[in-house]
Amino acid sequence: MVQLLSPAGDYAVPKEWATYGKYIDRLSEADFLKFYRDMARMRRFDKEAEALQRQGQLGLWIPAIGQEAAQIGSGYGVGHNDHIFPSYREHGVAITHGIDLMSILKMLRGVNHGGWNPEETRFHLYAIVLGSQVLHATGYAMGVKMDGMVGNGDLENDLAVISYFGDGATAEGDISESFLFAAINHSPIVFFCQNNQWAISSSVASQTKVPLYQRGSGFGVPGIRIDGNDILASYAVTAKHMDDAREGSGPFMIEALTYRIGAHTTSDDPTKYRDSEEVEYWKARDPLARFETFLRRQGIKQDFFDEVAEAGEKLSTEIREATFALKNPPIENMFKYVYSDKHPRIDEQLDWLRKYEASFGEDAHS
Amino acid sequence: MTTLAFFNLPDVGEGLTEAEIVSWKVKPGDTVAVNQVIVEIETAKSLVELPCPFAGVVSELLAKEGDTVEVGNSIISVTVADAASSVVTSSMPAVAEQAASAHQAVADAAASVSVEEKSPNLVGYGVSNSVGATRRQRHGAHNTATSSSPVAVDHAAVMATASTISVAPLAAGGAAAIAALGAMSASDGVIAKPPVRKLAKDLNVDLTKVTGTGAGGEITREDVVGGAQQASVFRNLTTPAPKSEREERIPVKGVRKAIANAMVSSAFTAPHVSIFVDVDATRTMEYVKRLKASTDFAGVKVTPLLIMAKAMIWAVRRNPMVNSTFTEEEIIVHNFVNFGIAAATPRGLIVPNIKDADKMSMLELAMAIEQLAGTAREGKTTPADMKDGTITITNIGVFGVDTGTPILNPGEVAIVALGSIRPKPWVVNNEIQVRQVTTIGATFDHRVVDGDVASRFVQDVASVIEEPALLLD
């Protein structure tokens, strides 16, 4: 398992991981601070969103607390041309690629389906159907290769694809199919599996007999396991293998071993299927605390951490106010993006819905 | 300048309609901060802490601990300083307006369960005709307080995609999977193969109480059978200790109140007459056994109840008056059978029915009964499932009793009770033999069904139980 920052906060690069160490050498202090700031931002956002769901403002919330290092680190390891295909828990990766956090909340409130343009952000829409995004990513990577946008040594135009999924998704046929297609076509793709150890109530032990990072090897997709709570390993390993993919070395799998501290979603009650001792064990391996120890040893002062805490409060208030202020979308939106051109059946359905809503009189939905 | 802000109970778990207040963490006069945990609620899925959406001073708790509150009803009011948050202020007029009307109702019947208000006589035992009202109400409630009421209800369609994140795994996975965990996984610390676990489940044997004699303490089939025999002798041995207080007062509300009202209205409106007949059910039991073994019925649950249902439907065709409804003006004889089955559920007694059961084949009926029972057990029976029943059976035999005098499901004129079926001495050809014997009890509305019709109907049902081949008629 690749680990560059120990749970105690000690930084060391063993000889066999020297290639990864070089990626850390390139980072400046500003990069480190950015990593920490975004991890804290992700956690604060998560907590506020959960509260908003409990207050009836969101239909659902999908917590990612505990997975900050896996997401922020790997998110920054993705290059500026690369495309990202997330599942539904990648709030941290979204942060690293400039997604407006309100877009995520809008989706979970049912205001829209995400609403950002994946062609602009290169961060594709959240995939709700488990594992489906990995097929999309694989297809996209095949297309990238057909377009000749890989292996040219041209960092301005070459690109690779990364797809995020969880341990539970690996038990879906979609993932195996993706491995096969990616390997056969030698596609520029990194499969990034956040093994948070619980697929809702199914433990990872009930999902696989071999470590997940070995899952692709029979298909011809080599893999490696990293400490998913070590942001430096997460960044360096992702950056290195995205570079490799861009240079034409084919698909690769990264398994980030981490832990879902919270519930699967706000509809889930994890106390029904796992021990509090296990949760406590992982809370003690908190990715933020680990990186904070590292930063303090690097000479980062309390001022910085105070500033981050303050920014967190500000973010909370902003998110809160913006959520309370969200308006229901016009019903036309449901029909607008089905076909690119006008379609008589769609018009008919819209017309029907308008009449139906109007039948509620003053109560009609606006 | 202050404003009163109301916090409406949200749907915290995708499609929940109510929750119970477990404990309040604040009281009137307390100062609360945004996101401070104010109350713990219990939903069908889990215990959940709710954080306060406002900062201010608690004015009133609008529901008591132990109350079941409908989603959308206010549970607390907080006096909020206007300057405290522009969001809260801007939404205030709408909230206050909605609250003004909702408040009285809520305060009066602090968290009344929907059941009590809609229809006093039928929920829980049959159903009222108020199914359609729900959406309209919620629609209104949502729009008058856009910014503080739960989004989930009106956005059901839009949320459909988002819900699939986990509804599929959770709805099926949540309660069911957790129940299954206990029964099927090794998390109970028991070593047993799945077929043995199934056997234990069928025989109602608690595997954690069985000593395994197999390799490494594995529980074998024999261990389970032994356990079951022991359990059958020593069942219900744990009798709770007498309580220290001399009386216990249980509020009559919700489903219990609805059941009570339905029973009273039925018992004092329709003159009940009950009749009983003992019957040799040996052939029915053999028939059940053969059906179970047949490939057509593979995977389908076959029980004596199925034959009983078929027998009743057959007997209805020969005695149509028992399948009718009495109104002061006329008797409506139904030429279809919506077959009601009384089901004891954690929420109380309910009577869902199988629509047009008379049009179904044996296999279709078996599947319909299984589905109806499953839905009832999961607490997912809808009001529509309980509407428009025409005749009912209550299977009290599963509780080990011989028979009883059932009370009519309001709106119907006949109900049949199926007692336990067990080996008893029976006279065959002047000799005493051991046969599978049961008692069929039935109650009729004497305004509609005369003694001769009632007797013929029960006799017809009994003759099918005695000789299921009659169904070939």
pLDDT tens-digit map of A171-183: 999 999 999 999 9
Model confidence at B447, pLDDT cuts 50, 70, 90, reads very high
| Residues of A classed as catalytic | 260, 264, 273
Please answer yes or no on whether A59 and B159 come within 8 Å at the CB atom: yes
Task: Give the closest residue to A245 by CA, choosing from A78, A358, A12, A363.
Answer: A78
Query: For residues A65 and A46, is the Cβ–Cβ distance under 8 A?
Result: yes
pLDDT, residue B137, reads: 39
Residue B363 sits in a domain of what CATH number? 3.30.559.10
Structure confidence at residue A362 (pLDDT): 60
Euclidean distance between CA atoms B115 and B127, whole angstroms:
10
- How far apart are the C-alpha atoms of B74 and B377, rounded to whole Å? 30
Residue B17 — very low, low, confident or very high, per pLDDT cuts 50/70/90?
confident
Choose one of B126, B150, B174: the last residue of a domain: B150
Cβ atoms of residues B395 and B404 within 8 Å: no
Q: What is the DSSP string of A252-302?
A: EEEEEE----S-SSTT--GGGTS-HHHHHHHHTT-HHHHHHHHHHHTT--H
> A277-324 pLDDT, tens per residue?
999 999 999 999 999 999 999 999 999 999 999 999 999 999 999 999
Is A324 in the B-facing interface, judged by CB distances under 8 Å?
Answer: yes
Q: How far is CA A180 from the centre of its chain?
A: 23
How does pLDDT run across B106-120, given as a tens digit for each residue?
Answer: 333 333 333 333 333
Which B residues, 136 through 155, put their C-beta within 8 Å of a C-beta on chain A? Answer: 136, 139-140, 143, 146-152, 154-155
Distance CA A259, CA A234 (A): 14
Residue A358, pLDDT > 50, answer yes
Q: Measuring CA to CA, how many Å separate A43 from each of A197, A288, B54, B71?
A: 19, 9, 22, 29
Which is it for strands B47-51 and B37-42: parallel, antiparallel or unpaired?
antiparallel
Mean pLDDT of A65-78: 98
> To the nearest whole angstrom, how far is the Cα of A95 from the nearest Cα of chain B?
20
What CA dihedral angle connects A220, A225, A229 and A235, to 10 degrees?
A: -60
Confidence category of residue B234, pLDDT binned at 50, 70, 90: low
Are B151 and A264 in contact (CB < 8 Å)?
no
Residues with Cβ within 8 Å of residue A148, at least 6 apart in sequence: none
Least confident of A243-252, B100-109, B217-226, B389-398: B100-109
Residue B83, class by beta-carbon neighbours within 10 Å (0-12 exposed, 13-18 middle, 19+ buried)? Answer: exposed
Q: Is residue B389 part of a domain?
A: yes
The share of chain A scoring above pLDDT 90, in percent, equals: 88
Q: How far apart are CA B458 and CA B452, in angstroms?
A: 10
Residue B261 lies in a domain: no
Confidence of residue B48 (pLDDT cuts 50, 70, 90): confident
Task: Give the total number of structural domains in chain B.
Answer: 3
Task: Please state, rounded to an integer, the average pLDDT across all residues of chain A.
Answer: 94
Residue A287, sorted as left (phi over 0), alpha (psi -120 to 50) or beta, turns out to be: alpha
pLDDT at B182 over 80: no
- According to the model, what pLDDT value does residue B173 have? 35
Q: Assess contact for B39 and B23: CB atoms under 8 A.
A: yes
Do residues B143 and B180 share a domain? no
- B243 found inside a domain: no
Is the Cβ pair B7, A55 closer than 8 Å? Answer: yes
Which pLDDT score, from 0 to 100, does residue B100 have?
40
CB A320 within 8 A of CB B86: no
Query: Could you list the residue range(s) of the whole structural domain that residue B321 is in?
Result: 270-472
**What is the spatial distance between Cα A139 and Cα A135, in angstroms, rounded to a whole number?**
6
- CA of A199: which chain B residue's CA is closest? B169
List strand residue ranges (DSSP E) for chain A, in order.
83-85, 161-166, 189-195, 198-199, 202-203, 223-227, 252-257
Average pLDDT over residues A337-352: 91
Does residue B257 sit within a domain?
Answer: no
- Residue (of B102, B103, B41, B34) closest to B66 by Cα position: B41
A43 in Cβ contact with A261 (< 8 Å):
no
Please give the helix or strand (H or E) that residue B108 lies within, else none.
helix B86-108
Is the ipTM higher than 0.95? The answer is no
B446 carries an active-site annotation: yes
Q: How much of chain A exceeds pLDDT 70, in percent?
A: 98
- State whether B146 and B216 are in the same domain: no
Please tell me the predicted confidence (pLDDT) of residue B343. Answer: 83
In the listed set B150, B178, B208, which residue is the last one of a domain according to the structure? B150
pLDDT band at B233 (very low <50, low <70, confident <90, very high): low
Inspect the interface and report whether the beta carbons of B151 and A60 lie closer than 8 Å. Answer: no
Q: Is A51 on the interface with B (CB under 8 A)?
A: yes
CATH number of the domain that residue B65 is part of: 2.40.50.100
Strands B56-61 and B74-81: antiparallel
Flag whether residue A171 sits within 8 Å of chain B, measured between CB atoms.
no
The domain boundary residue, chosen from B231, B259, B283: B231
Residue from A97, A130, A84, A117 nearest A265 by CA:
A130
B chain contacts of residue A105, beta-carbon cutoff 8 Å: none
Contacts of B452 (CB under 8 A, 6+ apart): none
Confidence label for B402 from pLDDT (cuts 50, 70 and 90): confident
Residue B419, pLDDT > 80, answer yes
Tell me if chain A has a CB within 8 Å of the CB of B22. Answer: no
- Looking at the fold, whether B112 and B196 belong to one and the same domain comes out as no
- A207: closest CA of chain B, how far (Å): 13
Which of A48, A55, A125, A327 best tests the B interface by mutation, with the highest count of B CBs <10 A?
A55
Please check the confidence at residue B319 and state whether its pLDDT lies above 50.
Answer: yes
Residue type at position A208 = T
Q: Which of A74, A361, A124 is nearest to A229 (CA)?
A: A74
Return the CA Rg of chain A: 21
Sole residue written with tokens 């992702």? A238
Give which of B40, B43, B165, B188 to mutate to test A binding, by max A Cβ within 10 Å. Answer: B165
Please say whether the beta carbons of B412 and B325 come within 8 A. yes
How many whole angstroms separate alpha carbon B215 and alpha carbon A162?
A: 48
Closest Cα in chain A, distance from residue B429 (Å): 59
Does the structure show a pLDDT above 50 at B98? no
Q: How far apart are CA B354 and CA B442, in angstroms?
A: 20
Return d(Cα A89, Cα A40) in angstroms, integer.
Answer: 16
B259: pLDDT confidence band, cut at 50, 70 and 90? Answer: confident
The pLDDT of B258-281, averaged and rounded, is: 88
How does residue A16 score in pLDDT terms, banded at 50, 70 and 90?
very high
Amino acid at residue number B266:
S
**Same domain membership, residue B299 and residue B223:** no
Rounded Cα gap, residues A192 and A252, in angstroms: 9
- pLDDT at position B139 is 41
Q: How confident is the model at residue B344 (pLDDT cuts 50, 70, 90)?
A: confident
In chain A, residues 206-225 whose CB comes closer than 8 Å to chain B: 206
Is B219 found in the same domain as B340? Answer: no
* DSSP secondary structure letters along B246-279: S-------HHHHHHHHHHHHHHHHS-EEEEEEEE
Other C-beta atoms lying within 10 Å of the C-beta of residue B18: 20
**Confidence band for B198, pLDDT divided at 50, 70 and 90:** confident
Q: Rounded distance, CA B417 to CA B404, Å?
A: 7
Task: Reply yes or no on whether the pLDDT at B286 is more than 80.
Answer: yes
DSSP structure class, residue B297: G
Is A55 in Cβ contact with B51 (below 8 Å)? yes
- Whether B44 and chain A come into contact, CB under 8 Å, resolves to no
In this complex, do A109 and B155 lie within 8 Å of one another by their Cβ atoms? Answer: yes
B65 and B204 in one domain? no
In chain B, % of residues over pLDDT 90: 40
Query: What average pLDDT does range B147-156 have in this prediction?
Result: 39
Beta carbons within 10 angstroms of residue B50's beta carbon: 23
| Minimal C-alpha gap between A122 and chain B (Å) | 22
Give chain B's mean pLDDT.
77
- Count CB-CB contacts under 10 A for residue B298: 8
Chain B residues whose CB is inside 8 A of the A200 CB are 166, 169-170, 173, 177
Same domain, B146 and B193: no
Q: Model's pTM, two decimal places?
A: 0.57
Q: Does A324 contact B88 at a Cβ distance shorter than 8 Å?
A: yes
Between A209-223, A299-313, B10-24, B330-344, the lowest mean confidence (pLDDT) is in B10-24
Residue B3 has pLDDT above 50, yes or no: yes
Instruction: Give me the mean pLDDT over the B129-140 stretch.
Output: 40
Would you tell me which residues 90-149 of chain A have a C-beta closer than 8 angstroms to some C-beta of chain B? 107-111, 113, 128-129
Report strand pairing: A161-166 vs A189-195. parallel
Q: How far apart are CA A149 and CA A248, in angstroms?
A: 10
A333's enclosing H/E stretch is helix A333-336
Which token pair is A67? 């997975």
Domains of chain A, residue spans? 15-324, 333-363
A268 touches chain B (CB under 8 A): yes
Contact A122, A115 (CB under 8 A): no
d(CA B417, CA B394): 5
Check whether domain A15-324 has CATH 1.10.10.10, yes or no: no
- Sort strands B324-326 and B331-333 into parallel, antiparallel or unpaired: antiparallel
DSSP classification of residue A11: B
Any A CB within 8 A of B397 CB: no
Q: Is the pLDDT of residue B238 over 80?
A: no
Q: Are B311 and B473 in contact (CB under 8 A)?
A: no
Do B134 and B172 fall into the same domain? no
User: Rg (Cα) of chain B, in Å, rounded?
Assistant: 27
Six-digit token string for A288? 């933020």
Q: B262 CA to chain A: closest CA distance, Å?
A: 32
Q: How many CB atoms lie within 10 A of CB A353?
A: 16
Domain check: are B146 and B173 in the same one?
Answer: no
Within a domain: residue B253? no
**How far A350 CA sits from the closest chain B CA (Å)?**
14
Q: Residue B223 pLDDT more than 80?
A: yes
| Per-residue pLDDT band at B374 (split at 50, 70, 90) | confident
